[in-house]
Amino acid sequence: MTTRIIGTGSYVPDQIVTNDDLAKIVETSDEWIRSRTGIGERRIATADSTSDMAAKAAQAALDQAGVRAEEIDLILLGTSSPDHCFPNGACEIQAHIGAVNAACFDISAACTGYVFALNTAHAFISTGMYRTALVIGADVLSKLVDWGDRGTCVLFGDGAGATVVRADERGILGMNMHSEGAKGGVLTCGSRSNGNFLLGKKPELGYMSMDGQEVFKFAVKKVPECITEVLASTGTPKEDITYFVIHQANYRIIESIAKRMKIDPARFPVNMEHYGNTSAASVPILLDEMNREGKFKPGDKIVLSGFGGGLTWGATLLEW
């Protein structure tokens, strides 16, 4: 018994912010952002919270799957920007959609959050502990970036993507998850300084900070490694893979991964031009777009891969 994606959904806020809009608040240009990242615009949440967006994506996935919220045994939310420290975001989604029978918790693995959540759901389902799960990636990084820092604020957008997964004969064939905490300093966010009455100050929350070139090097090394690993562990030649659905951080990263793996970049779909880097939401948003466009046929083999803060990275190989 394995785990199969039986429904997908996604949601992005209405508000579009173009590169030209950002050039009005920091010293940058459409040409600089497009040529280095492939990003043209992003959606920024003004009314929606992370759990609002995630619940809308989840409901769309449930509707497509024809599954009632009460049938969900487990909700896993990959996020770095939950509305609160507690209750966790998955519990808030549960309340929104009425999934009263689900156990709910968040997975904190930055941009790898959805892939780690999917692999975790698979671990529960393949042991027989749960049958049906909602696996969601959602982030509102617009509330975590310093809008005066051109090195980071141009990269991100807000959104949510969701999948309903269920125990089945066909589905996930292999997966892996990796972490390297010792390199965590290259990409950090929201570090909370100590603050209490003994210190005479309140805690302060920091913004995102990133060593872009180190993140770039990390991604183009580790993503090919984990994809190669999941293919080898299942005896699957790379030629058998219809699509490689990779975290949408940056077009140049994806291009370099394709080149390094000697795979036609056309098999690495991209949508960051319209959404920017939506962190944990990017893989499930792209999956949902492709699914609704009818790009996947039963039997297609698809690789999903995420990479991000932690550092964390991992891959999933599945048969649609």
Q: Beta partners for 135? A: 76, 163
Residue 301: phi, psi to the nearest 5?
-100, 130
What is the Cα–Cα distance from 232 to 196, expressed in whole angstroms?
51
Q: Which is nearer to ligand ACO, 134 or 208 (CB)?
A: 208
Q: Which helix (H) or strand (E) segment is 177 a member of?
A: strand 172-179
Choices 41-49, 58-66, 86-94, 150-158 (CB under 6 A): range interacting with ligand ACO: 150-158
Residue 167 interacts with ligand ACO (CB under 6 A)? no
Query: Considering 111, 153, 189, 226, which one is annotated as catalytic?
Result: 111
Q: Which ranges constitute the DSSP H helices of the chain?
A: 19-23, 30-37, 50-65, 89-97, 113-126, 150-153, 212-234, 251-260, 272-275, 282-292
The closest alpha carbon to 226, from 262, 257, 252, belongs to: 257
Residue 40 interacts with ligand ACO (CB under 6 A)? no
Give whole-number Cα distances, 236 to 31, 222, 229, 269, 317, in Å.
Answer: 40, 19, 10, 20, 9
Residue 231 interacts with ligand ACO (CB under 6 A)? no
Residue 24 interacts with ligand ACO (CB under 6 A)? no
The count of C-alpha atoms lying within 13 angstroms of the C-alpha of 32, restricted to the half-sphere facing its C-beta, is: 12
The count of C-alpha atoms lying within 13 angstroms of the C-alpha of 75, restricted to the half-sphere facing its C-beta, is: 34
314 exposure class (CB count in 10 Å sphere: 0-12, 13-18, 19+): buried
Helix (H, G, I), strand (E, B) or coil at 255: helix
Is residue 96 part of the annotated active site? The answer reads no
Scan for tokens 């892939």, then name that residue. 115
Choices 2-10, 32-40, 41-49, 254-262 (CB under 6 A): range interacting with ligand ACO: 32-40
Residue 215 interacts with ligand ACO (CB under 6 A)? yes
Q: Which is nearer to ligand ACO, 32 or 207 (CB)?
A: 32
Q: Which is nearer to ligand ACO, 210 or 263 (CB)?
A: 210
Residue 243 interacts with ligand ACO (CB under 6 A)? no
Residue 250 interacts with ligand ACO (CB under 6 A)? yes
Residue 249 interacts with ligand ACO (CB under 6 A)? yes
Size of the site for ligand ACO (CB under 6 A): 21
Residues 72-131 that bind ligand ACO (CB under 6 A): 111
Is residue 247 part of the annotated active site? The answer reads yes
Choices 51-59, 86-94, 166-174, 208-216 (CB under 6 A): range interacting with ligand ACO: 208-216
Q: Beta partners for 67? A: none
Residue 305 interacts with ligand ACO (CB under 6 A)? no
Nearest residue to ligand ACO, by Cβ distance, number only? 212
Cβ at position 249, least distance to ligand ACO in Å: 4
Cβ at position 19, least distance to ligand ACO in Å: 9
What is the Cα–Cα distance from 117 to 103, expressed in whole angstroms?
13
Helix (H, G, I), strand (E, B) or coil at 46: coil
Is residue 111 part of the annotated active site? The answer reads yes
Residue 28 interacts with ligand ACO (CB under 6 A)? yes
Chain residues in the site for ligand ACO (CB under 6 A): 28, 32-33, 36-37, 111, 150-151, 154-155, 187, 210, 212-213, 215-216, 249-250, 277, 307-308
Active site residues: 111, 247, 277
